[in-house]
Structure formats: structure tokens, C-alpha cells
A and B are shown apart, each in its own frame.
Chain A
Amino acid sequence: MISFIIRRLIAAVFLLIIVSMVVFGIFFILPRWGGQTTYGLATEYVGRNPTRSAVLQMIDQLGLNKPLYLQYWAYLKAIVVGGHYGTGVNSAYCPPPCFGYSFKNQQPVWPAMVSDIPVTLSLAIGAAIIWLIAGIGIGVVSALKRGSIFDRFSMTIALAGVSLPIFFTGLIALELFSYKWPIFPNVQFVPFTENPALWARNLVLPWVTLAFLYAALYARLTRAGMLETMGEDYIRTARAKGLPERTVIFKHGLRAALTPIITIFGMDLGLLLGGALLTEYTFSLHGLGLFTIEAVQNQDFPEIMGVVMLAAFFVVIANLVVDIVYAVADPRVRY
């Protein structure tokens, strides 16, 4: 088991390095293939006023005339030791980890992202808890009472949940529960450290909106998994041993049905941590998703690069954790 974890860790590190190369490639190599000149490329990184001298300086700074591996090295180096950008009043020191400096916003990318992480984290984890409980719970009950009214009803709702886009359910939720009936007025992010009660209350609508989509998915998945598992021979053996039905369902059945769901959950959570774009946009929550949208709208390359790396990092970590958890759950996977 230990060797399994170590191997996975090493693989994760390799994966992160490859991701950084791909991200680097997208921003520094692809544009060239599209015909972008060095000058043009540097202009995208300079701030509001792309004077010739500023652009030339940026070329120097990013080493855009140097060989690719040196550029990549400069990029990596900045992450570890930080870097200086600009001159004079515009000069700025970007402390490590330095994922670049956004001239359009006059701030290093990393602190701007970090300040958005708590919002996305609150949103993602809160919604995750809700959708796991609701989705798996409904899925189990539906599977056990297959064909019943509950089963048909819940699977229909689940189909709706999976099909309806978040900006639709989110807007309806806002319209009904924030504006029409002020049960959750003024949805705005309040930091947990500032006021936990208000933090939770203001997040209820976004949580429920996000969780509705995923709960629906997980209900269907759990139901399918449970149905399959409960038809397995070892369930018959468990009953033959004389175990109470509850033990058969939960210890023998659900546990086996849940392992594939763990994998999916890890992926979903990893992706969400990179920013629940639609939900954050609908509810105006300043998390990584909104950060990404603004960065793309402003064509702020350093910010886009930074958030891509961060999102990729979350996905790789999530995958690693999922692999390890899966190995803990299913002994057949450990070697």
C-alpha cells in the first residue's frame, strides 16, 4: 500500500510538470504557430498602454527571444523564487509563488487568485456535502424500492436536474427565494471567519442550485450502481450467512456500489475547485470561476495562465486522492 501511494505521488508530480509544460505551450508556443510575432505576443502581457519601450522590456523580461527551454525555465523559476516586472513606478516585485504579474490589474496573479479560493472552496465543499447526502441517499432508496412511485418520481426529477442548466435553476432560485420572497435576501459572499451564520445563509441558494445538478447525477449513478451490486453473488452469500438486511445493504452492497462513485466525485470536486463558473457568475460570487471569466474577458494572459495552472493542480490532486481512496476501499486495486 505504501509503495502504491508513493508511486501515485511520483506520477502526480510528473503530471503537474507536464501540465505546466502544456500550459506554457498554449500561451507561448501556440500563438507563434498562429502567426503571432514576438512583439505581438509581448503586447498581450503589457498593461494598458503598450508603448514600444514597454513592449520591448516585456520581451526582455519574459525572454521571448530566447530558446523555448530557457523561457520555460524562466517561467518555472518565477514560480519558485518570484520575479520583478516593469520599471519605475510601474515596477513590481512578485513574490513566490509567482504565477505572473497582471499589468491590467496592477497586481501579482497569485494573491488575486488566493483571495478568491475561499469563495470557491466554500461553494464547492458545501454543495458537495449536500449533493453526496441527497444524491446517494435518494439513489439507494430508489434502488431498493425499484419501480415504486418514489423511484419513478425521484428519477424523473433527477432527469430534470441533470438536464436543466445551472444558470436557469440559479436564476429561478434567485427570483423566487431572494427577490420575490425574501427568504435569502442579498446573496453575497460573507467570509466564514467574519460571520459563520451569514456565510452559510448567503450560500444556501448557490449550494442548492449547484447541488441540485450533481445530486441528480449521483442519484442516478448510485441507483444504477446499487442495482448492479445488489444483484451480485456476494450479496446472496451475505444473506445466506443470515446477516440482517440492513447489514447486507449497507455493509456489503452500498460499499461496493460507492467505489466507482468515489472516482467520479473526486473528478467533479477537482473540476469544481477550479471554479464553478456558471454558479459563481449567476450569483455574483467572486471565486475562481468569476476570476477566470473576468481574466478571459479582459484577455489578461498572466491571470489566465495562473488560473489554468491552479485549476489543473486541483484536478491532479483530486485524482491522486481519489486513486488512494479507491485503493483503500478496493483491495484488488492496490498493486
Chain B
Amino acid sequence: MAPLLEVQDLRIHFPTDDGLVKSVDGVTFSVERGSTLGIVGESGSGKSVTSLGIMGLHQGTSARITGEIKLDGEELVGADPDRVRELRGGKMAMIFQDPLSALHPYFKIGDQITEAYRIHQPGATKKQARQRAIDLLGRVGISRPSVQVDSYPHQFSGGMRQRVMIAMALSNDPELLIADEPTTALDVTVQAQILDLIRDLQSEFGSAVIIITHDLGVVAELADDILVMYAGRVAEYGTALDIFGQPSHPYTWGLLASMPRIDRARTTRLVPIPGTPPSLIQVPSGCPFHPRCRYASQTGGRSQSEVPPLREVTPGHLSACHLTAAQRTEFWAELSAGKVREDTREPA
């Protein structure tokens, strides 16, 4: 069975007065029906831009998009904008990070949901749409939905608003749901509820979910597959088991090592990734991570000059790194034991 979503060498560049911003520069992945893909990376890694690109929300901007995005076999890059619009909110839906600003303050939430519904179900009457909205609100856990359907966004708490957004996104039974940092703006306890909700709905509706986050904990909860992005490129791609169990890229190691773990002793030092993400106009030559990579010296200078290709580590587990598989296994073992090698160069 073909994947629901196939993204092939996607590049999204923005020409600006300061230069060409290469927000996404050669990203390849796929999502199976009903599965969950987690896309992780720092700010500026290109994860949001990728998801907006899938949804066709760069239409009308100066973005130059090349590559392939196939939704259920249908090519979206270069497709007729009206066709993409038909799919948007219908077959594929998206929820965003800050539900207060993402909901229109002037319209009742019921009206905002029915609006999404009616645009994709032209035969639906107002009554039907309203009933659908009430049903959805109930399904996402809003109490007294037939009353709350006439409330305004500012009358809800953050968690409830995100539930509303989810209800709105699900109103047309999308096959693909993209959630862009859905819990970042919420309290930790509410975060858990929302993630549970997404998981429940996914199994109930059978939709595929792409969850974008910088929080590995979230990804660990939900994702079947994980895509690690850095500077607009794929660093590592594999199943959750692969990534957490046998991470195969220095950047992924950095992410994991910098994460506080409840199962480690509190005195173990967190190892942050030194440096800052690169400018997307002046992406470093060769491997984009090399200025911050502790192991760049081990590649015999290839990190500076050659772009590492995305190579298979094990079937289905890909990584873009010049280090050999053996080196990577070794270095990861050291890191997870808490040791740092002496002969590795501190990044400049």
C-alpha cells in the first residue's frame, strides 16, 4: 500500500533583500496511513516551513518550491491552487501552536467550526453543520457542547481552545493531520491531555498525524517514525525505536543528551549542543552541522567540504553523516555512558 504522503527532495527557498533563504533544502520522508510522524529540530530547522509547504500555505508568498509532495498519489507541488485549497482543511488539516491567536476573536467557536465544515461539504445545511460542531466539541472533551458552541475563544482556557482547534481540524475527517507544536503554549498537565486526545482521535478516525515539535518527550509519546531536521535538511530519519535506541547522528545525540531524564541521576551533567543554529542564507559548506559537531575532525576534513548524503544505517533508518557506522556506534556508547572523549575537538 502506497504511503499517504510522500515528500521527495523538497526545497523551499525565499528570495529576500539579504539573500536567498534556504528554509528547506532537500527533505525526503513519507507517512503511512494511520501512522504518526514526529518532526523534531531547533527553531529555524525548517520543520514548520515544511508542514506549511505540504498544506500549500506558501501560496501567494515569494516562496520557490521544488521537489515532490504526493498526497495519496496526487502531486501538490505546482498543482492548481484551487485544487490544493480543496484538499486543505478537507483531506489534510493542520492545527497550530497558539490557539488563542489562531482562532478568530470575533466569531463564535461553533461558527468557526461550521465554517470549516461547510466549505468542504457544500450540501450540508446550517443545522447539520451546527450539529456536527456540537458532536465534535463533545468528542474532543468540551463539556456542555451545545451551550459552548456559542461561546467566543476568549471565554475558554488554553487547553480548551486547543481542543476546539482540533475539533475544527477534524471536522472533515482528514486523512492527514499536521499538528505544529500543539502543546508548546500549554501547561504540562494540559499538554498530556492534548496528546492523549490526539492519540485517541487518531485511532478512532484512522488519520495519519505529523507532529512537529522541538520536545523529544512529546515525540517519544506519540511518534511511530521520527524525522530529525537541521538547517533545512534531514539529519536522521527512522522509527522511534531506531532514533531513541540507536541514534546515529551527532545532532540527534546532542538532542538526546541535552534532555533532562528522569531515569538518570540528577547529578549527571546535561550536555547542551554548543553554538547556535546557522543562518539559512549562509548555510555552512559541507555538512551544515560541522561547526557545532564534536566529531567533525574525525571525518578527515570531509565535513567541511562535502554534503553528507542520506545513507541507510539499517533498513528504514537513514542518517546524513560522514562518520562510519562503526564510529557512530562507538561514539554513542561513550556518550550514553556519560563520558566525553578527550581527543575530540571542541567546536570553534
> A66 contacts the other chain (Cβ, under 8 Å)?
no
- Cβ–Cβ contact B154 & A332, under 8 A: yes
Point out the residues of chain A lying under 8 angstroms from B101, CB to CB. Answer: 232-234
- List the B side residues contacting A232 at CB < 8 Å: 101
B87 touching A330 by the CB < 8 A rule? no
**Stretch from A114-122, A127-135, A236-244 contacting the other chain:** A236-244
B152 pairs with A233, CB closer than 8 A: no
**A331 and B102 within 8 A (CB):** no
Contact residues in A for B86 (Cβ distance below 8 Å)? 242
- Tell me whether A241 and B88 are in contact in the complex, defined as CB-CB below 8 angstroms, given that A236-B96, A331-B152, A332-B152 are known contacts: yes
Interface 0/1 of B82-101, CB less than 8 Å to A? 00011111100110101001
Task: Assess the B102–A241 pair: CB atoms within 8 A.
Answer: no
Judge whether B307 is part of the interface by a CB distance below 8 angstroms. no
Contact status A237-B102, CB under 8 Å:
yes
How many A-B pairs have beta carbons closer than 8 Å: the answer is 66
Q: Which of A234, A237, A238, A245 has the most CB of B within 10 A?
A: A237
Q: Are B105 and A330 in contact (CB under 8 A)?
A: yes
Q: How far is the CB of B119 from chain A (nearest CB, A)?
A: 6
CB closest residue in chain B, given A235: B104
| A240, A244, A329, most chain B CB atoms within 10 A | A240
Q: Which residues 240-291 in B have Cβ within 8 Å of A in the complex?
A: none
**Contact A233 B105, beta carbon cutoff 8 Å:** no
- Say how far A251's CB is from chain B's closest CB, in angstroms: 9
A207-249 contacts to B (CB < 8 Å): 232-234, 236-245
Q: How many residues of A contact B (CB 8 A)?
A: 20
B140 contacts chain A at the CB level, 8 A cutoff: no
Using known A-B contacts A236-B57, A237-B96, A332-B154, determine if residue A242 contacts B103 with beta carbons closer than 8 Å: no
Q: Which residues of A contact B154 (CB under 8 A)?
A: 331-332
How distant is the Cα of A255 from the Cα of B104 in the complex, in angstroms?
10
- Of the candidates B85, B105, B119, the one whose C-beta lies within 8 Å of that of A332 is B105
The docked-state distance in angstroms from the alpha carbon of A252 to that of B112 is 10
Most buried by B among A232, A239, A241, A245: A241
A256: Cβ under 8 A from any B Cβ: yes
Q: Bound state CA distance, A330 and B106, in angstroms?
A: 5
Assess the A242–B102 pair: CB atoms within 8 A. no
Q: Which residue of A lies closest to B52 (CB)?
A: A236
With an 8 Å Cβ cutoff, the count of chain B residues facing the other chain is 27
Tell whether, in the assembled complex, residue B57 and residue A241 are in contact, meaning their CB atoms are under 8 Å apart: no
- Check B152 against A241 for contact (C-beta < 8 Å): no
Q: Which residue of A lies closest to B101 (CB)?
A: A233
CB-CB under 8 A from A233, the residues of chain B are 96, 98, 101-102
The residue of chain B having its C-beta at the shortest distance from the C-beta of A242 within the complex is B89
Q: Are B85 and A240 in contact (CB under 8 A)?
A: no
Q: Closest CB-CB distance, B210 to chain A, in whole Å?
A: 14
- Residues of chain A lying within 8 A (CB to CB) of residue B90: 242
Interface residue B234 (Cβ < 8 Å from any Cβ of A): no
Report the bound CA distance from A252 to B116 in whole Å.
Answer: 13
Contact B85 A244 (CB under 8 A): yes
- In the complex, are the beta carbons of B168 and A331 less than 8 A apart? no
A255 and B111 CA atoms in complex are apart in Å by 15
Q: Report how far A232 CA is from B55 CA in the complex, Å.
A: 18
For the complex formed, measure the closest distance between the CB of A99 and the CB atoms of chain B, giving whole angstroms: 42
CB of A240 within 8 A of CB of B93, answer yes
Bound together, the chains give a CA A36 to CA B344 distance in angstroms of 92
A interface footprint on B170-206 (CB within 8 Å = 1, 0 otherwise): 0000000000000000000000000000000000000
> Given known contacts A233-B96, A233-B98, A331-B154, is B104 in contact with A241 (CB within 8 Å)?
no
Q: Tell whether B9 is near chain A: CB-to-CB under 8 Å.
A: no
CB distance from B112 to the nearest CB of A (A): 8
B75 interfacial by beta-carbon distance below 8 Å: no
Separation in Å of the A252 CB from the closest CB of chain B?
6
Contact B105–A234 (Cβ < 8 Å): yes
How many angstroms between the C-alpha atoms of A332 and B154 in the bound complex? 7
Residues of chain A lying within 8 A (CB to CB) of residue B93 = 240-241
Tell me if B105 and A239 are in contact (CB < 8 A): no
Q: Name the distance in Å between A333's Cβ and chain B's nearest Cβ.
A: 10
The CA of A332 and the CA of B89, in the complex, are separated in Å by 27
Q: Are A240 and B55 CB-contacts (below 8 A) given A329-B106, A330-B105, A330-B106?
A: yes
Min CB–CB distance B141 → chain A (angstroms): 20
Q: Please tell me if B120 contacts chain A, counting CB pairs below 8 Å.
A: yes
Determine the chain A residues whose CB is within 8 A of the CB of B98 once the complex forms.
233
Determine which of A234, A243, A244, A332 lies in contact with B102 in the assembled complex, contact meaning CB atoms within 8 Å: A234
Contact status A234-B119, CB under 8 Å: no
Assess whether B106 is in contact with A331, with CB atoms less than 8 Å apart.
Answer: yes
Check if B72 is an interface residue, CB within 8 A of chain A: no
Give chain A residues whose Cβ lies under 8 Å from the Cβ of B87. 242
Question: How far apart are A22's CB and chain B's nearest CB, in angstroms?
Answer: 37
Indicate if the CB atoms of B105 and A241 lie closer than 8 Å. Answer: no
Residue-by-residue, is B57-79 near A (CB-CB < 8 Å gives 1, otherwise 0)?
10010000000000000000000
- Report the Cα distance A244→B118, complex, angstroms: 12
Contacts A240-B57, A332-B154 given; does A234 touch B89 at CB 8 Å: no
Chain A, Cβ-Cβ closest to B91 = A242
Docked pose: A241 CA to B87 CA in angstroms: 9
Q: Which residue of B lies closest to A255 (CB)?
A: B106
Please tell me if the beta carbons of A256 and B106 are within 8 angstroms of each other in the complex.
Answer: yes
Which residue of the partner chain, among A240, A329, A331, contacts B88 with CB atoms under 8 Å?
A240
Contacts of B85 in A (CB 8 A): 242, 244
Given that A233-B101, A256-B104, A331-B106 are known contacts, is A241 also in contact with B96, CB under 8 Å in the complex? Answer: no
B171: nearest residue on chain A (CB-CB)?
A241
Shortest CB-to-CB span from B117 to chain A, Å, is 9
When chains A and B are docked, how far (Å) is the Cα of A330 from the Cα of B105? 7
Given the interface pairs A331-B152, A332-B154, the reply to whether A239 lies near B88 with Cβ below 8 Å is: yes
Q: What are 18 A-to-B residue pairs whose CB atoms are below 8 Å?
A: A234-B102, A234-B104, A237-B96, A237-B102, A237-B103, A240-B96, A241-B88, A241-B115, A241-B168, A243-B115, A252-B104, A255-B106, A256-B105, A329-B106, A330-B105, A331-B106, A331-B152, A331-B154
Instruction: State the 10 A-B residue pairs at the shortest beta-carbon distance, nearest first.
Output: A242-B89, A242-B88, A241-B89, A233-B101, A241-B116, A234-B104, A233-B102, A331-B152, A240-B94, A237-B102
- Given A233-B101, A332-B154, 10 new contacts (CB under 8 A): A234-B103, A237-B165, A240-B55, A240-B93, A241-B89, A241-B93, A243-B119, A256-B106, A330-B105, A331-B154
